[in-house]
Amino acid sequence: MMSALARTPFDRTLLLVIPAAAFMLLLFVYPFLYGLWLSFNPKEGGALANYHHFFTTDNLWPTIWITLKLALPATIINVGIALPIAFKMRVKTRYQRWVTTILVVPITLGTVLIAEGMLLYFGPKGWLSQFLQFFHLYEGPIRLTHNYWGVLISLVISGFPFAFLLILSYITGIDPVLARAAATLGADSRNQFRHIYLPLLAPGLAMCFCLAFVQAFSVFPSAVLLGSPAGPTRVISIAAYEAAFEQYDYSLASAIAMVMGFVQLVIVAAVLSLRNLFYRGPVTGGKG
Amino acid sequence: MKVWLDKAWRGFLLGLMTIFVVNIGLMIAAVATSSFARRWLGTWLPDGWTTSWYTAAWKEFQLFDVLLVTIEVVFAVVFLALLIGVPAAYTLARRDFVGKRALMLLFLLPLMVPPITYGIPLATVLYQAHLAGTIWGVILANLIPAAPFVILVMTPFIEQIDQNLESAARVFGASTGRMFMHILVPLLAPGILAASLLVLVRTIALFELTFLTAGSDSQTLVVALYYAVFAAGVRAPQSVDAMAMIYMAVTLVWLLIALRFVNPTQLVSRVKEHPQHA
């Protein structure tokens, strides 16, 4: 793929990458490093005072588990449901475009609209509870808002379309010739999935899992609006926001943000190392 | 037995999709009904209908200004993200050089790190530069995930283009700039359109970074909506719902336009037409 130009002493095409790289260095890497430095320079105490404070304060360190308890199930549900549905949708039919469009539309809703809609629809006087009581299916009060479940449901609604879209585009990128070859050897749909698609999808699935997890892990508006931000859904981003904009302790806020980034990276690293257990190679068939 | 299992599985998937779609549909319908309701307390449908909440929301939340800011921010972000993203994607798609992997990582990281994690230090830096609270601060903050996203979407599009076309243009003495304008941009038009519409939809919906960097007169629609819901109780819930409907209409129009031009299956990798199989 190397053109003759690439072998000239200096390739000016490389200059094209500079604006984007400079922008990222200035507005992503620099603030990040600044935040890291700031987190080690607390208002009072030694270099590690912020981290010590975080891991010894009762309304700070549990936020890690609270966030993980929301983000991990939400991501697993989203990827787990999106995978079989995307697998069904890979075949081009008359309905494919319609169904994918309908499933993708919730992307436009945004977390705030979903929260508002859920408060109305799942609320004590909402249509769902009226419906259930009308048909005597369930008489008790429904508690799906202002608690853990409200936040989890909203994470599924807002995260699913994205996971679906991503997995669908990975699946349709796999050459169907491979599956047909398996079919000639007598593999049914389930075996094709297990032995052909799943191994080839592994890198895409890992990527999708990470991206979906980032979204769920930084849950903020729905945890405030749909959860109980003082208790069971006091997620880590709420703690960071409060430190920064209510206590004006940017140093502590940066420390919380760094803990958040660290936990995120641990999960990403775990997922990517799991991926390495699978096959790596081309997803297209040979000429044969 | 196997056939039966297959049928049950298919039915299960269909049921799951139906539950998901129907409940979301009803959820939106509930917001829509409420936004047109005169009074709606614990009945199936409200007592009467009115459109006055829309005019109320328009005035109360200064929606005209908010929409104007949103449009300014979104179009500035799309334009700047393309301006720096497409050339970078071109280099990454065509050239091999020392440090390419590190550069790829640099462009991937903003998508892999939660926005709040870099949003808080970023807001601190922007406040020191007196940019936070202004519309420029919001635009710069929104560019951080937008530019890498353009690069990620555009790279496969560029790889699809035959390199001989570029070489031909070079043979006739075209400079890189001319080659871009006359060869690449026309050929890349579908990809650029796809990327810009996706960035547009994402930027309208991106909450965290705008929330952290916006001042009172540089709020976008989604942040204004958050404050409206957050301070619910002060205002009539119907006018918040009216605002939510306006928000949804704005994003929905753009998403439908996007889906008109972009096949959702075409985002990450090239599509091969899948034949109908038995």
pLDDT tens-digit map of A223-271:
888 888 888 889 999 999 999 888 888 899 999 999 999 999 899 889 8
pLDDT at position B244 is 87
User: Tens digit of pLDDT per residue, chain B (278 long)?
Assistant: 678 888 898 899 889 889 889 999 999 999 899 889 888 777 788 888 888 889 888 888 888 899 999 999 999 999 999 999 999 999 998 888 888 889 989 998 888 888 888 999 999 899 999 998 899 999 999 999 999 989 988 887 888 788 888 888 888 888 878 888 888 888 888 788 878 887 888 888 888 899 999 988 888 988 988 888 887 666 778 888 888 888 888 888 888 887 777 665 555 444 444 444 43
A162 close contact with B: CB closer than 8 A? no
CA distance A125 to B174: 68
CB pairs under 8 A between A and B: 286
In chain A, which stretches have pLDDT less than 70? 1-9, 278-288
- Cβ-based neighbours of A50, under 8 Å, separated by 6 or more: A39, A40, A42, A251, A252, A254, A255
CA distance A234 to A148: 10
- Cβ-based neighbours of B149, under 8 Å, separated by 6 or more: B81, B85, B111, B195, B198, B199, B202
Look at A116 and B263 and tell me if their CB atoms are within 8 Å: no
Cα torsion at A54, A58, A59, A63 (round to 10°)?
70
Look at A108 and B201 and tell me if their CB atoms are within 8 Å: yes
Nearest residue, CB atoms, A108 vs list B117, B248, B265: B248
A88 close contact with B: CB closer than 8 A? yes
Class of the CATH-defined domain A57-275: mainly alpha
B195 close contact with A: CB closer than 8 A? no
Domain boundaries, given as residue ranges, for chain A: 57-275
Find where tokens 């926001």 sit: A241
CA distance B140 to B138: 6
Q: Which residues in chain B have their CB less than 8 angstroms from residue A19's CB?
A: 83-84, 87-88
Cα torsion at A27, A32, A37, A38 (round to 10°)?
80
B251 close contact with A: CB closer than 8 A? yes
What amino acid is encoded at B198 in this protein? L
CA distance B166 to B186: 13
